[in-house]
Amino acid sequence: MNDPITASAAGTWRLGELTVNRIGLGAMRLTGSAAFDLGAPSDRDVSRRVLRRALELGVNHIDTASFYFSRLRSANELINSALSPYPADLVIVTKVGPGRDPSGQWYTARPEQLRGQVEENLRQLGRDHLDVVNLRRMPSQSSIAEHFGALAELRDAGLIRHLGVSNVTAAQLAEARAVAPVVCVQNQFHVDADAGAGSGDDVLERCREHGIAFVPYFAIAGTGREQGAAARTAENAQVLAVAAAHGASAAQVRLAWTLRLGPHVLAIPGTGDPAHLEDNVAAGALRLTGADMDLLTARA
């Protein structure tokens, strides 16, 4: 039996001084089959097995948030219980800005509330500092300077090692960089997205120019967003053609396309299924050709 492909097949990138394999794990789906679902919780033992298996496969970058919870399940608590004491090379990235009360109701944190959100992540994860914290911009926010400044103060206080931003435009990225260094940007970006200014392509290029990690979310889910790939009405025909040519799955092609965008691009596919985890990690070894990329990038 062949040894499984590990996350090192995708290569590495640095978040500040922290080196991570370019294919990581998103924790959102560990809590249940549908994101932010307050119905049936996930199987706790299976979710914990996914986390441990991820580390066995070389994953050393996990993306999470204190607002990733379903009924009876918290992503941060699962990470803590499954992986603590944490390996020295494990980088846990969390995010603040949005919040959910115990009933699941969303709110947007004010700058002075961000410390409480950071401390909640610290408590749930059982850590005395956070490796990377992303400020997740909410749609109502045009400027992020005040919020990002509040996080910069928490970095200076030693609660956070590095800062990132999420769901931002190129102008908002520049606004954040004027306040403090930015090591990563998490934006929605996938094969199905329309190309052009304002789509995320411009942010991708700014990150390339400045050596900032670009970390797309919904890389597999695409237009299915929080509900996952199953919510799409049909798979992209170009994705299916490339998958057939390589003997790969559509999800693997989507991840390989993501990684092929540049050496600074990281993937954080989320899953609560051990088999899907192994398939996702294996996508790091799938090498798309220039012709494949031309076909996939010919977005209609």
Confidence of residue 224 (pLDDT cuts 50, 70, 90): very low
- What's the pLDDT at 200? 67
- What's the pLDDT at 42? 85
User: Degrees (nearest 5) of the Cα angle 117, 119, 125?
Assistant: 105
In which domain, by residue range, is 162 found? Answer: 19-233+262-285
Relative to beta strand 61-63, strand 25-26 is parallel
| Residue 88 within a domain | yes
pTM, two decimal places = 0.92
| Residue 70 within a domain | yes
- pLDDT digits over 118-128, tens only? 999 999 999 99
- What's the pLDDT at 101? 84
| Residue 73 within a domain | yes
Q: Quick check: 77 and 117 in contact, CB under 8 A? A: no
Percent of the chain with pLDDT over 70: 89
Percent of the chain with pLDDT over 90: 79
**Predicted confidence (pLDDT) at residue 196 exceeds the cutoff of 70:** no
Distance CA 8, CA 285 (A): 9
Query: If you average pLDDT over residues 243-262, what whole number do you get?
Result: 96
How many structural domains does the chain have? Answer: 1
Task: State the CATH number of the domain containing residue 100.
Answer: 3.20.20.100
- What's the pLDDT at 103? 79
| Residue 185 within a domain | yes
Terminus-to-terminus CA distance in the chain, angstroms? 42
| Residue 2 within a domain | no
- What's the pLDDT at 34? 58
| Residue 250 within a domain | no
Element (H, E) at 31: none
Of 71 and 279, more confident: 279
Confidence of residue 17 (pLDDT cuts 50, 70, 90): very high
Taking all residues of the chain, what is their mean pLDDT, rounded to a whole number? Answer: 91
| Residue 298 within a domain | no
- Which pair of tokens denotes residue 201? 């392509």
**Predicted confidence (pLDDT) at residue 21 exceeds the cutoff of 60:** yes
Query: If you average pLDDT over residues 96-117, what whole number do you get?
Result: 92
- pLDDT digits over 134-165, tens only? 999 998 899 999 999 999 999 999 999 999 99
Catalytic residue ranges? 68
| Residue 189 within a domain | yes
- Which pair of tokens denotes residue 62? 């996990």
Q: Quick check: 147 and 188 in contact, CB under 8 A? A: no
Position 170, amino acid: A
Element (H, E) at 93: strand 91-96
